[in-house]
Amino acid sequence: MMNCCGLITTQKEPVPLKSIEVQLEVRDHVATVVSTLNYENKEDKPLEAVFVFPLPGDAAVCHFSATIGQTQIVAEVKEKQQAREEYDDALSSGQQAFLLEESEQSPDIFSLSVGSLPPGESASIRLEYVIELAVQADDGLRFCLPAVLNPRYEPQERVGSGVQVTSVPASLVPYSLSFSARVSSPRPVSKVESSCSLDPLQYLNTEQTQATVKLAAGHKFDRDVELLIYYKDAHQPTAVVEAGQASAKPGTLMGDPVVMLSLYPEFPQSVMSSVASCGEFVLLLDRSGSMDCLTNDSEGQETRISSARDTLLLLLKSLPMGCYFNIYSFGDSYEHIFPKSVEYSEKTLEEALKKVEEMQADLGGTEILEPLKHIYSQPCIPNQPRQLFVFTDGEVCNTKEVINLVKKNSGSHRCFSFGIGEGSSSALINGLAKEGGGHAQFITGTDRMQPKVMQSLRFALQPAVEDISVTWDLPKGVSVTALSPPITTLFQGQRSLIYAQLTGQVGAAPSHSETPLVSLSGLKNINNSLLLSSVCRLTVHRLGARTLIRSLEMEETDDKGQHDEGVKKKVVELSVQSGVSSSFTSFIAVNKGNNEPIEGPLVRRDVPIACELEKFTRIMKFCSFEELFKSDLRARESGFNVPKQPHKDPLLQLVSLQKASGCWLLDPALAAALGKTSEEVEKPKPSAVSSLWATILALIWLHGFKMDTKEEWELLAMKAVSWLRLCYKEKNRLLFCTFDIAVYLKLLTNIKVESLDLKLDSNKRLTYFPMQCLRTQSEKSW
């Protein structure tokens, strides 16, 4: 069942939240975020305002305070049940109280309760958290300020356990947002991009290592705010050393210095150019009802499920011969195309593509846990590393349970995750990739799914650097205690942060240093020099504490999902000591300065959060997925409000015709995909080489007319070239010479004719260049 959400209208029940101010401070790969929420009670009765909102899934909330008039109340971290009891006691006695707590099911959902706000009174809530910034495939660091929180699907056995979310269309959110960011790093900041309009980037020094940026005027908080931050020399390792808290006891986590080591190596070209020809690729596709929502591309009527189908086509065509694969899809239940993973061949590929073409968003809810259990129950295939690709809009409430399952099986596979649409759970998407040693991607706004998925496939096909060890080179008398799990393997495109506590006499770190702090064995031909800097805030300490807390929270639970009391006690102690939130603690603040109780009955007001318009329309009408999908079925049968199928992309048309081996066949379908008649395509063809000719034409068309989407088709083009080379080696070399293939391949970028051992002579072979049959009269050159 899904939480039933209702609209709180401004006419009947005024919303007390008026504005949100956010200040972002980015330091290298981590960030501190300060949010100020301004409340005002314009009613004639005291209010309890409840605001359920999203935060990034791996955020560590580390400060919570409230200001009423000239009085500031700083919250304390306490065990969750104790905090709730203190909050209830305060309200019953007429005192002002504030409670902030993390959802027990998902670490990216928080609820803020502002209790006993008197009539005419204003309150300012300050919330501070620290977070690691995820690295994207293009080396950008991604920060996302979530604005959209879609209701999370609850497995049937957990109905009623999740938090209640009041949702309205994003355009009706009654509060405003102001947002500014400051970026600093040991390396220069090259640019900052966003899905929202920004004012120009302002550099604060000549080295361009510090800069500020803010949202352009007039921004409405109707969608997630995403920033992409790019540094020069992004792959150089860095270390940040942070002094301990002066008031904390030496020898404790907060009292000792903590170091954060950032590893984001760039592999040599010789490693990057090699592509694995083996592996077991398991694709897991969300077919819940929300996948039938339109993508946010305003130019078309494409739905998420149709975009996912097109993406699976590209992905399947790009898999190497010799690998194994299977496709699962899930909703209330789950399905798989094959009983177990099968070898990639023309027959199995065609069977899979037929099933993919039929897939609709018709399986109900979002039960992702059960298909994962089934996948992990299947024995791994020898010498075929398992690679799991998960596509979902990420709206489940049992996030921690799902991530824990992936972590338990991380030794046998890698997990690549894709969050589709606004409001997808960052905790789920990032958690799957982090615990599965893969890569997370988010498809929002006008993003296209295909290029991001193909980027991740490239990572999956590239080899890893293994047997890595970290040796700390520290002064005498200084010892180190690792706060992060050990790293033994690194993949291209994967960033790793290592936290460690330093005990002993640690001197102040210089602002910049080439002196090694650590030695990294196993990283041959990779830049090991460190940029070393120091900071005075407790960002690194809190993130180190968060890493420990998350590791403890992910430990084994009993059959009822409950943790051992010893583990819970450790988490609570660490959370209280560091001031960092956890699933077992809450922030509680009570205004004890005014002894006069607030008179009058307390009225509850649920502050709405933005929800996607199409989902909101459905949510308002239905309280269960069963009713929702009966309505969908009737709508489809009647033809009402069914999005028009977009025109077939010529690239996808061409890709769909490629065979599993990498070649194309010369037939009317290929001619149509190339925009030509069969006669135009076949007329210049040399005799007895139809498949070679067809493959060459397809490659030339891709390089000539689709270079702007090269990242989408590059892998399948590489497979086509490999097929051509194999034909050259194993079949008839004279055919290639007659066919002038050397000329054609020479004119294709990134294809080395030299590997074919063919020599070009000086005669006029270009007069037979097959591009002539693909050009139009209006094209002056190509």
The backbone torsions φ and ψ at residue 769, rounded to the nearest 5 degrees and listed phi first, read -55, 125
Confidence of residue 247 (pLDDT cuts 50, 70, 90): confident
Q: Where is average pLDDT lowest: 147-156, 301-310, 414-423, 473-482?
A: 147-156
What are 715-757's pLDDT values in tens digits?
898 898 888 777 766 655 545 544 445 445 544 433 333 333 3
Domain topology for 17-232+582-611: Immunoglobulin-like (2.60.40)
Phi, psi of 686 (to 5 degrees): -65, 160
Q: What is the pLDDT of residues 563-599, one digit of tens each?
A: 678 888 999 999 999 999 888 999 998 887 655 566 5
Complete DSSP assignment for 46-109: -EEEEEEEE--TT-EEEEEEEEETTEEEE-EEEEHHHHHHHHHHHHHTT--EEEEEE-SS-TTE
When pLDDT is averaged across residues 220-238 and rounded to a whole number, the result is: 81
If DSSP states are collapsed to H, E and C, what string results for 682-707?
A: HCCCCCCCHHHHHHHHHHHHHHHHCH
Range 48-69 average pLDDT: 80
Greater confidence (138 vs 493) lies with: 138
Q: Which two tokens stand for residue 355?
A: 């099933």
Q: Are 771 and 700 in contact (CB under 8 A)?
A: yes
CATH 2.60.40 positions along the chain are 17-232+582-611
The top-scoring range by mean pLDDT among 112-121, 217-226, 285-294, 314-323 is 314-323
**Least reliable range by pLDDT among 6-20, 482-496, 662-676, 723-737:** 6-20
Highest mean pLDDT among 170-174, 186-190, 483-487, 520-524: 186-190
| pLDDT value for 284 | 96
Cα distance between residue 268 and residue 463, in whole Å: 11
CB-neighbour burial class of residue 53 (10 A; exposed 0-12, middle 13-18, buried 19+): buried
Does residue 560 register a pLDDT over 60?
no
The string of pLDDT tens digits covering residues 758-770 is: 333 343 332 333 4
Highest mean pLDDT among 134-143, 619-628, 738-747: 134-143
Residue 26 and residue 133 in contact, taking contact as beta carbons nearer than 8 Å? yes
Mean pLDDT of the chain: 76
Alpha-carbon span 508 to 768, nearest angstrom: 71
Domain with CATH 3.40.50.410 in the chain: 275-461
From CA 659, how far away is CA 638, in angstroms rounded? 38
Sign of CA pseudo-dihedral 654, 656, 661, 666: negative
For residue range 67-102, list pLDDT tens digits in order.
887 788 889 999 999 999 998 888 888 888 889 888
Q: How confident is the model at residue 14 (pLDDT cuts 50, 70, 90)?
A: low
CATH class of 275-461: alpha beta
Lowest mean pLDDT among 351-365, 432-446, 520-534: 520-534
Q: Does residue 3 carry a pLDDT above 50?
A: no
pTM above 0.95, yes or no: no
Q: Which residues contact 540 (CB under 8 A, 6 or more apart)?
A: 30, 240, 242, 258, 259, 260, 499
Q: Return the pLDDT at 516.
A: 42
Distance CA 146, CA 143 (A): 10
Joined tokens for residue 413: 């596979």
